[in-house]
Amino acid sequence: MISDKVRPHHLERKAILYVRQSSAHQVLHNRESSALQYAMRDRLTALGWSEIEVIDDDLGRSAAGGIQRAGFERMVAEICLGKVGVHISLMVSSDFARS
């Protein structure tokens, strides 16, 4: 199904799919999450994008502690330069309380 919100000027630019999990443990043990995130590429194709850049440089890198995330920085730069018609990512955050 193609959305009426997607216009030709959006499709003229590339789509970015940002794939990320915060820890190496998540990357190794939550494979379903990775599969779901990569599958969003199919949705972008269905919406009409032919140029899709997948940025997954930051897999296993937490945003805590000042760790640089080169993939995120590249994505933001591309958006700010007007090269991106859409970006898509799945945000999942979990906090584990210890008793």
Q: Which residues are catalytic?
A: 22
Q: Identify any residues that bridge with 57 across adjacent strands, giving them in sequence order.
A: none
Hey, is 84 helix, strand or coil? strand
> For the chain, what's the residue count?
99
Q: Which residues of 1-31 are buried (b: 16+ CB within 10 A; e: fewer)?
A: eeeeeeeeebbebbbbbbbbbbeeebbeeee
